[in-house]
Structure 1
Amino acid sequence: MKTPHLCLFGDGNHVHVRRWAQAMLDRGWKVSIVTARPQEQAGVEQIILPEVRRSVDWLFRVSAAKRAVKRLAPDVVHAHYVTSYGYLAARCRRHPLVMTAWGSDLLVTPNAQPLVRWLTAYTLRQADAITGDSSDLVAAAAAYQPRAELLELHWGVELSRFRPTPWPLKPPFEVVSARTWAPNYRIDVVLRALARVQGVVLHLLGGGPDEAALKALSVSLGVCDRVHFHGRLDDAGMAAVMARCKVAITVPTSDATSVSLLETMACGLAVLASDLPANRQWLPKDALVPVGDDRALAAGLARLRDDDALAATWGALNAKRMQEEGGRDTQMDRADQLYRRLLDSTQARFPSRGHSNH
């Protein structure tokens, strides 16, 4: 039997795309990636598009994308990020076509101008299935009235790596933020909250363009001696830092289901998060704070610092939730099943074409 061929459209250097590609290799797919941001990955052929420097450049990558898909002749095409790679995949008109929204591509970007919203609607209406990792993201896709099947499917956590550390082995009160150092993720709010609460050590993972500004802010707030700027770490490095911590903080302005949120939950950490629809799916009301409110975040930190039993209870509940429904294998099995079901359906509708290209 011929090995089915999956063609991913996405950033080949992004950890989520790379994990997805590896998961499908492990499930018996041949995997290719069409990408403007490549990074070599064993077992995965990459076709590199011309560099993209501005958003408008995506409009001029259609011909290259079509040539790539024509040469690869994949059985299934799956685009990650609707308003860039999704548009290119839609223009290729290869089916079955799956699209995964990442968050801002539906929750923020289309609201900027009518043309972008129109292109987003066009893109989604070419898909056979659309996935998103939170109910509000799936609802945002549904608002465009696509013909596609809609499915809530999150990235999942590698539970063998991200697992709880016994509470007594942790230092007194260390906390972690694993979000990128960029404006949306409001690391400045985390630092301002830290300045209001004594006896807390903060670990910052993620790295990003605001590094210099955030380090300067930590100095001006007088907390630089309590902040560790780790930057980007691999999974093992992140898990090692999380093992020291009792609380995780994630307070972005806009977000879908965050992988780092799920990873910290899997590690048995209590979590304080901004009050967004996606976070409400995973966390109790007491764990949520208004967006941008460093006073409320500081109050949450102080409460958990002073009530170790409460922090431990929240952490244990988070770990239990992840064990039940957060595993990456479970989510990737669902993606594999979606591909195979769509492929069977497409071949049944177009038997003379083999793999549809309608």
Structure 2
Amino acid sequence: MKVLLLANGASIHAARWVNGLAEAGLEIVLVTQDRDVLPLDGSVVVHQLPFSGSLGYFRNGSALRRIWCQEAPSLVHAHYASGYGTTARLGGCGPLLLSVWGSDVYRFPNRSPLHRWWLQGNLAAADRVASTSRAMAEQVRRLTPGIGQVEVTPFGIDLELFAPAAGPPTIADDAPIVIGTVKTLRPVYGIDLLVESFVRLRMVLAQEAPSVADRLRLRIVGDGPERESLSTLAAERGIARVTDFVPKVPHSKVAAELSKLDVYVALSRHESFGVAVLEASASGLPVIVSDAGGLPEVVRHAKTGFVVPRECPPAAADALKRLVLDAELRRTLGSAGRTHVCRHYGWRESVRRMIGIYQDMESRPLGNTLARKP
């Protein structure tokens, strides 16, 4: 089967899909605007579209159609509904599977009625739509009533790369207890809420368990527009001395960063799925997440971690307190998290599921594709 993937070639998540599908034996053609494409399997054919940027999504339709006619794939899989979904729609290529990623269905349609109308057209033009979470699938249905089935295709985790570190969680009475996150530093991801939760935790433990409070450390890994303001916030709140800001690391180094943590925290204001949380769970870490979007789907409350109300540092601090004071609870939840990811979110299973959708689309006559034949 030959599949034309229309996606951001510089995205690690898109590159993982490309490589995973190619390694599974599919003939993959990647079509992208990006000039700096991440390393790909040697069998992958790459076509670069002539135009870049937001307008490129509109201007590249005819170029995509030429590539489609040349390659004659079994189907087209476009990633990101507002961007490459536009190119696929204007190119008239198919059968078309359209994967939504998050901001394309949560933020883009709220910019204006015109943005919403255009996105609805992109979704309706697809023969099938895929979402990484049930919550985001519901958002698609709200945007486009009557769209029919939306496939849920969780983004799987590399269980060999993300695995528990050697040795038990921090138990020694004088060892630091490191709370942290690995995320882009943007307001949507609530890193400021993590800082405030950490401050509150230290204040409470300074009264109740001062020796434990002295062991607390905060580690924030990532870059982004909030880097300076978060550093200032940490200084203003009196935790600069116990807070480490670490620059963004390549995906291949994320597992090493997770191994330095005792608790992983994601207090996002909005979140489509929660790949980073699953990577932390696969690494044997207990996790604390907000109830935003798809995050509650990837955490079993009080089993693999804790789900707290979004925008609520007191609740997050309470959950942190439970984990900080109980090393055995950290170990139990972390171990259960690893088991949960292995059972439900392994990368190989995700690839198999995606191929199953491809095969089903290939075997069914799809009305939207009748006018697209080259």
1:289 equivalent among 300, 303, 308: 308
Tell me the CA shift for residue 50 of structure 1.
4.6
- Summarize the Cα distance change of 1:224–1:45 in structure 2 as closer, same or farther, 3 Å threshold: farther
In 1: Cα distance, 2:69 partner to 2:232 partner: 50
Residue 342 of structure 1 deviates from its aligned partner by 1.2
How far, CA to CA, are the matches of 2:159 and 2:252 in structure 1? 12
Matched residue SS, 1:125: helix
Is the 1:167–1:312 Cα contact (8 Å) retained in structure 2? no
Alignment match, 2:338: 319
Aligned-residue CA RMSD (Å): 2.6
Q: Which residue of 2 is the match for residue 152 of structure 1?
A: 152
Q: Deviations over 1:269-300 (max 9, x none)?
A: 11111112412222244512222222322222
Query: Mean alpha-carbon deviation: is it higher for 148-157 or for 339-348?
Result: 339-348
- CA deviation string 1:121-159 (max 9, x = no partner): 211112122111111111122231355642111111000
Cα distance in 2 for residues equivalent to 1:14 and 1:261: 18
Equivalent position of 1:118 in the other structure:
117
SS of equivalent residue, structure 1 residue 229: strand
Residues 185-207 of structure 1: CA distance to partner in whole angstroms, max 9, x if unpaired? 12111122222323322222232
Contact 1:269–1:315 (8 Å) recurs in 2: yes
Q: Look up the equivalent residue of 1:200 and give its one-letter code.
A: L
Following TM superposition, by how much is the alpha carbon of 1:61 offset from its aligned partner in structure 2, in angstroms?
3.5
Partner of 1:164: 164
Q: Which residue of 2 aligns with 1:46?
A: 46
Task: Look up the match of 1:275.
Answer: 291
**Matches of 2:69 and 2:243, distance apart in 1:** 51
Check 1:86–1:347 CA distance in 2 against 1; reply closer, same or farther (3 A cut).
closer
Distance 1:51 1:253, change over 3 A: farther
What is the DSSP-based 3-state SS (H/G/I as helix, E as strand, rest coil) of the residue aligned with 2:337?
helix
The reply to whether residue 335 of structure 1 matches residue 332 of structure 2 is no
- Report the Cα offset of residue 79 of structure 1: 0.8
Q: Which amino acid aligns with 1:116?
A: H
Query: What are the equivalent positions in structure 2 for 1:39-118 lying under 5 Å apart?
Result: 39-40=36-37, 41-42=39-40, 43=42, 44-50=44-50, 52-53=52-53, 55=54, 58-118=57-117
Q: State which drifts further: 88-97 or 338-347.
A: 338-347
Q: Secondary structure at the match of 2:184?
A: coil
Specify the alignment match of 1:141 in structure 2: 140
Residue 33 of structure 1: how far off its partner (Å): 2.0
In structure 2, relative to structure 1, the CA distance for the partners of 1:67 and 1:224 (3 Å cut) is farther
- Superposed CA deviations along residues 144-183 of structure 1, whole A, max 9, x for unmatched, are 1355642111111000111123562545411221121112
Q: CA deviation at 1:60?
A: 3.5
Identity %: 25
Query: Which residue in the other structure is 1:184 paired with?
Result: 188
Match of 1:210 among 214, 221, 226: 226
Q: CA deviation at 1:59?
A: 3.1
Structure 2 counterpart of 1:155, which letter?
Answer: F
What SS class does the counterpart of residue 244 from structure 1 fall into? coil
Deviation at 1:356, TM superposition (A): 6.1
What residue is the counterpart of 2:30 in the other structure?
33
Residue 171 (structure 2) pairs with residue 175 (structure 1): no
Instruction: For structure 1, list consecutive stretches of 5 or more residues without a partner in the other structure.
Output: none
Cα distance change, pair 305–347 in 1 and its aligned pair in 2 (3 A): closer
- The answer (yes or no) to whether the contact 2:169–2:330 under 8 Å persists in 1 is no
1:292 is paired with a residue of what secondary structure? coil
Does structure 2 conserve the Cα–Cα contact (< 8 Å) formed by 1:176 and 1:247? yes
Superposed displacement of residue 84, structure 1:
0.9
- Distance in 2 (alpha carbons) for counterparts of 1:259 and 1:285: 17
Give the C-alpha shift of residue 341 in structure 1.
2.2
Normalising by structure 2, we get a TM-score of: 0.85
Taking the aligned partners of 2:367 and 2:116, their CA distance within structure 1 comes to 33
Give unmatched runs, 5+ long, in structure 2. Answer: 203-212
Give the SS at the match of 2:168.
helix
Q: Structure 1: which amino acid aligns with 2:349?
A: T
Paired residues in the alignment total 351
Deviations 1:57-78 (A, max 9, x none): 5334333333333333322211
In the other structure, the counterpart of 1:132 is: 131
